[in-house]
């Protein structure tokens, strides 16, 4: 039995097999591969794309999806092992994961960091606990990485560019009024480097570097394929000759839990917005973002609505790649 917690656990060939299957599912969406099966979707945080694409995807494969929101329609869940449960949560993940495993063939979990202490959040305790105690495959619907988004993005890029090896991929930090999760940024680094792209991370300064676990993986993946991971704070250098520009905002890890102190730093970099002038430096570069996206804060209308924008294709691909993923995990 395999889980899908991070693409770091999966080979490029295995991921490509999912992407190839997703292309077939895009052409022929209704395939009853999971007839009579069920999927439990557990959301600790809001969603538009993930929730609807998993639910509809399960339906299109002949499966049934149950959506649970712990603390809102289902019991709050305790994750500490050995906890004396005389406050708050009504049940423990040890029971929740095992009971849901008796009902469903897949458990999928969305659990964002608490944004208080990165040393705790980086352990990804919620989904790791489900994976430990479940007896069915567990899918990450976004925790500290967002592996389904990675697949959807790569599917969209391959569709436009064909071969991606050696192409220049730029992950650019962008301003956002709130400090956001680093999950999609971590994931962008992982998928671009795993697929042999030359990766550039553009961010305001070293405070916005991503967790060393993902920086190191990206370095290892790129160097193993004769590519590179470049970190720059120079906007022009980053955009020059880019084939793909991926925009995301995230909070600076050294300021975790001290967000009032980070705010002036973030506010000073509103000019990182993706606009036509910057995109003109690229090699007819594609633009993408995971959505939801604050228009004219992270990217101008002109770029997000332009012909090189992948945002809607990437969002659509969530449906196809997740269907391929669910069938792979159940039939593994
Ligand atoms: N990109 C993404 O995961 O969207 P939602 O948060 O709406 O699910």
Q: Indicate if 107 and 193 belong to the same structural domain.
A: no
Q: How far is the CA of 319 from the centre of ligand 1 (A)?
A: 12
Q: Which domain holds residue 44?
A: 7-145+318-330
Judgement on whether residues 137 and 225 belong to the same structural domain of the protein? no
Residue 82 inside a domain? The answer is yes
Q: Has this prediction a pTM greater than 0.95?
A: yes
Residues 126 and 162 in one domain: no
How far is ligand 1, taken at its centre, from the CA of residue 146, in Å? 9
Residue 68 CB neighbours (<10 A): 18
User: What digits encode the pLDDT tens for the residues 65-114?
Assistant: 999 999 999 999 999 999 999 999 999 999 999 999 999 999 999 999 99
Residue 149 CB less than 6 A away from ligand 1: yes
Structurally, how many domains does the chain consist of? 2
Cα 117 to Cα 71, 255, 258, distances in angstroms: 22, 9, 10
Between the CA of 143 and the centroid of ligand 1 the distance, in Å, is 12
CA of 326 to the centre of ligand 1 (A): 18
Is residue 49 in contact with ligand 1, taking CB distance under 6 Å?
Answer: yes
1 falls within a domain: no
Q: What is the CATH number of the domain that holds 87?
A: 3.40.50.1370
Question: Which residue's C-alpha comes closest to atom 4 of ligand 1?
Answer: 49
What is the dihedral angle through the alpha carbons of 110, 218, 214, 42, rounded to the nearest 10 degrees?
A: 10
pLDDT grade, residue 253 (50/70/90)? very high
Q: Atom 3 in ligand 1: which residue has the minimum CA distance?
A: 50
Ligand 1 atom nearest to 110, measured from its CA: 8
For residue range 152-177, list pLDDT tens digits in order: 999 999 999 999 999 999 999 999 99
2 lies in some domain? no
Indicate the SS3 state at residue 48.
Answer: coil
Residues ≥6 apart with Cβ < 8 Å to 124: 5, 143, 144
187-227 per-position pLDDT tens digit: 999 999 999 999 999 999 999 999 999 999 999 999 999 99
């Amino acid at each position: 039995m395999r889980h899908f917690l991070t693409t770091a656990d999966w080979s490029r060939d295995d991921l490509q097999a999912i992407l190839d299957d997703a292309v077939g599912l895009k052409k022929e969406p209704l395939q009853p591969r999971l007839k009579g099966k069920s999927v439990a979707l557990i959301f600790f945080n809001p969603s538009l794309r993930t929730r609807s694409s998993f639910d509809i995807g399960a339906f299109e494969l002949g499966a049934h999806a149950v959506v649970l929101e712990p603390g809102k329609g289902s019991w709050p869940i305790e994750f500490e092992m050995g906890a004396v449960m005389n406050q708050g949560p009504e049940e423990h993940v040890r029971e929740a994961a095992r009971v849901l495993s008796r009902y469903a063939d897949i458990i999928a979990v969305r659990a964002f960091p608490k944004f208080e202490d990165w040393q705790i959040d980086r352990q990804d305790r919620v989904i790791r606990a489900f994976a430990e105690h479940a007896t069915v495959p567990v899918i990450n619907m976004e925790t500290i990485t967002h592996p389904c988004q990675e697949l959807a993005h790569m599917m969209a890029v391959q569709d436009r560019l064909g071969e991606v090896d050696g192409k220049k991929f730029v992950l650019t930090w962008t301003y956002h009024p709130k400090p956001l999760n680093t999950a999609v940024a971590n994931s962008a680094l992982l998928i671009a480097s795993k697929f042999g792209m030359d990766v550039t991370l553009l961010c305001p300064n070293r405070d916005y570097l991503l967790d060393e676990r993902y920086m190191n993986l990206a370095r290892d993946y790129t160097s193993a394929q004769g590519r590179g991971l470049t970190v720059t704070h120079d906007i022009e250098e980053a955009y020059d000759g880019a084939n793909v520009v991926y925009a995301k905002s995230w909070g600076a890890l050294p300021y975790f839990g001290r967000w009032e102190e980070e705010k002036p730093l973030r506010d000073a970099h509103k000019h990182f917005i993706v606009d036509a002038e910057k995109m003109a430096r690229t090699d007819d570069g594609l633009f993408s973002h995971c959505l939801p996206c604050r228009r004219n804060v992270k990217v101008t209308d002109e770029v997000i609505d332009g012909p090189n924008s992948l945002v809607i294709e990437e969002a659509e691909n969530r449906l196809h790649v997740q269907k391929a993923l669910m069938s792979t995990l159940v039939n593994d």
